[in-house]
Amino acid sequence: MSRKYFGTDGVRGRVGTYPITPDFAMRLGMAAGKVLSRNKHGRVIIGKDTRLSGYMLEAALEAGFTATGMSPVMLGPMPTPAVSYLTRAFRAELGVVISASHNPYYDNGIKFFSSEGTKLPDDVESEIEKLIDSKDELTTPPADFGRAFRQEDAPGRYIEFCKSNFDNHMSLEGVKIVLDCANGATYHIAPMVFRELGAEVISIGVEPNGININDGVGSTHPKALIDKVLATKADLGIAFDGDGDRVMMVDNKGILRDGDALMYVIAKDRKTRGKLNGGVVGTLMTNLALELALKKEGIEFVRSAVGDRYVMETLLEKGWRLGGENSGHIICLDYVTTGDGIVSSLQVLKACRHFNKTLYELCSELQMYPQELINVRLTAGFDALTDTAVLDVVRTVERELGQKGRVLLRKSGTEPVIRVMVEGEDRGMVHTQAQRIADVIIHQSEGENS
């Protein structure tokens, strides 16, 4: 379904450039209020990350929602999964997060959660878009305007929720953890969670100033965490992204463990304890090593399209409870309804406690396959996914890789680029084969328009 403003994770872009402007945000709030409000003065939960532009967008959304009769509950800086949780806890009709996740400070975005704490269906987002572009007057009569409230105890409520997802008989006493909060929305949440569970916590990325979110820290910039873990001889490190829905971890040897490795640890632990409740959902980008390792453990695995909303859809279709992406979006559906970096990392720590092993020991059982990703820019009108020569070389490479490798061609949704991904056991072969496919695509694309 084609949408004008909403992407796979809400409306996102450069601040000050349409649609990330105050006038659009206010109109968006009005449209969403009209579509989703079921009751007079229904609640809408609004949280944000630490970007300076969050103040502007927060105020604009507040104006839009109150103008349609909804009553916004302002949380201030809060992780995305906290907004999802509190939307359910407050029985609100809608949750809103102002964040651009792992992007730099000059980007921002707005995404919505339903009353169930899940992302809105595509058809609902399309309905909101129609109202945004309509000429309809969306404001309610002045006597019916909503009122805004600020929820001062929101951080404490979410901290207790996170702790409740760690077994009551367990503690983290004796565990030294480095936390990297990306100068983002977890900066005042995550250190409290892990300290109150008994861990010795060393924090970095906990001094947000409005423009340093994800700046050299966080899950997309793990070097700072790796260096700190090694320098302090910590047992492990945990890195979140700017809005707290992704997590990466570093073991005591300084090795970065991505979402695939963490899902393997969680899945194996749950299978051992009879708590898995089905299989595991990955995406088209999930490392083949994870699929093969889960199969060896007798755990079923399926792939969805790339994007946590598609992981969620597949989980619901299958009735399973665990899925995610190698980027660190992990959904533990028995605890949360969206990716939650803190909750996911606690599941990994539970596994370490249950097996009485370190993160290094648990992850060493999974040897990731090398992956090569090449972005090839296409000339106008050329379709690499239907070109005969491209399909021929892909089939040839797949035969040569056999069962121990795979090829994925994927169109970019935002630019004229085809992403060529090859993975297999041998790094040199993977590199050579990816370049081989990319060269054919370039040749065919240029020939098509010569």
The whole-number pLDDT of residue 279 equals 98
pTM of the model: 0.92
User: What is the predicted pLDDT for the residue at 1?
Assistant: 52
Q: Which CATH architecture has domain 174-256?
A: 3-Layer(aba) Sandwich (3.40)
State the pLDDT at residue 271: 97
101, 114, 219, 345: which is the annotated catalytic residue? 101
- Side-chain-side CA neighbours of 33 within 13 Å: the count stands at 31
Equal CATH topology for 174-256 and 371-448: no
Neighbours of 196 (CB within 10 A): 16
Query: What was the pLDDT predicted at 2?
Result: 63
Q: Where are the domains of the chain?
A: 11-152, 174-256, 258-368, 371-448
DSSP 182: T
Q: 379 Cβ partners below 8 Å, 6+ apart?
A: 416, 445, 446, 448, 449
Q: Which CATH superfamily is domain 258-368 in?
A: Alpha-D-Glucose-1,6-Bisphosphate, subunit A, domain 3 (3.40.120.10)
- Determine the length of the chain: 450
CB 43 within 8 A of CB 78: no
Low-confidence stretches of the chain (pLDDT < 50) are: none
The yes or no reply on domain 11-152 and CATH 3.40.50.720 is: no
Does residue 101 have an active-site annotation?
yes
The string of pLDDT tens digits covering residues 130-185 is 999 999 999 999 999 999 999 999 999 999 999 999 999 999 999 999 999 999 99
The predicted pLDDT at position 276 comes to 97
In whole angstroms, give the CA distance from residue 47 to residue 365.
Answer: 39
Fold entry, domain 371-448: TATA-Binding Protein (3.30.310)
pLDDT confidence of residue 205 = 98
